[in-house]
Every structure is written in C-alpha cells, then in structure tokens.
Amino acid sequence: PSVTAALRDYTAVRDHLCPTPRTDRFFVSATGDGSIYRGELGDTATPVPVFIPGAAGESATGLKVRRGKLYAAGASTGTIKVYDVDSGALLATFDTKGGDSSPTFVNDLDVTKRGDVYATDSARPVIYHLSAEEIAAGTPAPKPIAAGDAISTSPEIPFTAGAFNLNGIVSRDGG
C-alpha cells in the first residue's frame, strides 16, 4: 500500500504513532531517510504530508512530543534531535557516538515531566540521559553528549553483542 494508506491504517488502530497531547495531530517517523510525517487523526481526505523532510544517511525511530517540542531518536545515526512541534525547525542535535565507531542504534526515547530525555541504544549496553538544561542549551549543529550522560546497563540488563538489545523506554512520573 501507499504511505498514505499505511498511515491511515495506523491512524485507525492508533498503534506506532506519536500523538500530540490534547490534539488530534500525530507524527510517524521513517527509518529509511529520517522523514517525519504529521497528520490529523480521522483525516482521510488528504495524504499525510511530510512535516520534516528526510535525507540520505538520516533515520528516525522513536518520537515523543512534550511542551512544544518533538523529540526524535536517530537510530543508526547515533543522534537525538529536538524540533519545534509547530514549525519543524531543528532546535538541537545530540551525538551519542562520542567518537566511538562501534555500531549504535538510538531506538526509543522518553521525556520526563521535568524535561529530561532518556533514550535506549539497541546496539550498545547504555541508556542515554540528557537533562532539561542540556536540551535547552542544545544547538542544531551536532553536539557530543557528555561521557556521564551514557548510563551503563550492565550487568543489570543482559547485553548480547551483535544482537538487537534495548528497545522501548518509559519514564516514571517522578522522572
């Protein structure tokens, strides 16, 4: 089926979507080129438009919306990006690779009530943490995360090198 038909199917079941709180707007990401689509639930008359165009070498997986910002996990790019939810303007890019050439796959993320971001990496035994202050100080140009922002998951969470490991993440109400 076409992208529009597939997104309408997702709309019908409300699965694999990033809904915008208190609106009928939703976002869907593309791993192939990082495109982010924005649509309206129940709108079957128009194709779901690209909100943020993708590019070769880009990717987007997990999405979250909070306080006027759209957060995107960058999959194998090793990035976490923050966009303005209304305009699509890129506000901040964080590079989790830290000069490490080993595989990475920033798969999902969550944003706490305070505004901190936690993100999983399916190819590395870590959970990334960016504070609300780091997010606010971010720039569109990629900014490496601090070494302390990569929280080791070993030995509490088993890790298998070369396999797909951590995936979804949800934060507690207290952050």
Q: For the chain, how big is the Rg over CA atoms in Å?
A: 16
Q: Is the peptide bond before 142 cis (omega within 30 degrees of 0)?
A: no
| 173 φψ region: left (φ > 0), alpha (ψ -120 to 50), beta (else) | alpha
Go through 144-153 and write b for each residue having 16 or more CB atoms within 10 A of its CB, e for each that does not.
ebeeebbeeb
Among 63, 78, 68, smallest CA distance to 17 is for 63
pLDDT at residue 13, rounded to an integer = 40
pLDDT score recorded for residue 87: 96
pLDDT (tens, 9 = 90+) of the chain, 175 residues, equals 445 555 545 444 433 455 555 677 889 998 899 999 998 887 777 788 899 999 999 999 999 999 999 999 999 999 999 999 999 999 999 999 988 888 999 999 999 999 999 999 999 999 999 999 999 999 999 999 988 899 999 889 999 988 889 888 988 766 6
| CB neighbour list of residue 90: distance below 8 Å, 6 or more residues apart | 81, 82, 83, 140
User: Could you give the count of Cα atoms lying within 13 Å of 45 in the half-sphere of its Cβ?
Assistant: 0
Element (H, E) at 108: strand 106-111
Q: SS3 of 140, please? A: coil
